[in-house]
Amino acid sequence: MSESKRDQLVQRALQVFYQGGFHAVGMDRLAKETGVSKTAIYKHFRTKDDLILATLRLRDENFRNWMIRGIEEEAETPEARLYAIFDVLGQWFAEPQFRSCMFIKASSEYQDRKHPVHAISAEHKRLIHRYFEGLAEKAGAAEPSALADQLLLLKEGAIVLAHLLDPKKTAIDAKAAATVLIDAALRPVTD
């Protein structure tokens, strides 16, 4: 299997795991749905967990690039980009293939914080936080890290509720809540 075939396997496996979960998808199902034999899979990945880690790395790269590009296309200034976070999330929630966050799923299936799958999921969230914090700092928030904490918390909750309830309403509600947080952080009330 060439490097491009390996990349194709990771891309296909990402979709299978995203749709079916990590523990629920066995190697037989993975081979069937990716069209790659188990022997060929094991030539590139010692274990199923190694393949899962590769899919999570790809998902992290793809998702963060998509989200940042979407935010930058929606808004020009750092302040406007803070609000645009939730517009972009709303677009994701509206996609027919939306099935919540792959990293939330992974960390719930691999709950030991020391497990590499859990660790890579946590790192994804830290990278998103870092991006939010950078926007908050550029927008002039007095406490950029605190605002990033709040926006990340709101984003993660919105993802879960969009998956469980009404995606459109959740996106609207999340943006309304984010507006309150952002306005308070950028324009604090003084006595």
Half-sphere exposure of 68 (CA within 13 A, CB side): 14
Q: What is the pLDDT of residue 1?
A: 44
Task: Read off the pLDDT band of 6 (50, 70, 90).
Answer: confident
> Nearest-CA neighbor of 173 among 149, 150, 157?
157
pLDDT over threshold 60, residue 18:
yes
**Is there a domain that residue 43 lies in?**
no
CATH classification of the domain holding 148 = 1.10.357.10
Count the Cβ atoms, other than its own, within 10 Å of residue 169: 12
Instruction: Report CA-CA distances (Å) from 87 to 33, 44, 97, 140, 175.
Output: 33, 39, 18, 21, 7
* 36 inside domain: no
Give me the number of domains the chain comprises: 1
Record the tokens describing residue 142, joined without a space: 């007095």
For the chain, what is the mean pLDDT? Answer: 94
Residues 34-49, mean pLDDT to the nearest whole number = 91
Q: Is residue 34 part of a domain?
A: no
Give the structural domain span for 175. Answer: 52-186
Q: Over 80: is that where the pLDDT of 111 sits? A: yes
In this structure, what DSSP letter does residue 175 have?
H
Q: Which residues contact 159 (CB under 8 A, 6 or more apart)?
A: 89, 93, 100, 101, 104
135 in a structural domain: yes
Three-class SS state of 20: helix
User: Residue 2: pLDDT above 60?
Assistant: no
Distance CA 25, CA 21 (A): 6
Q: Is 80 a member of any domain?
A: yes
Confidence label for 191 from pLDDT (cuts 50, 70 and 90): low
**Other beta carbons within 10 Å of 171:** 22
**Residue 96 predicted with pLDDT over 80:** yes
Confirm whether 102 is domain-assigned. yes
- Mean pLDDT for 136-147 is 97
- For residues 95-107, give the mean pLDDT: 95
Lowest-pLDDT choice from 2-11, 113-122, 170-179: 2-11
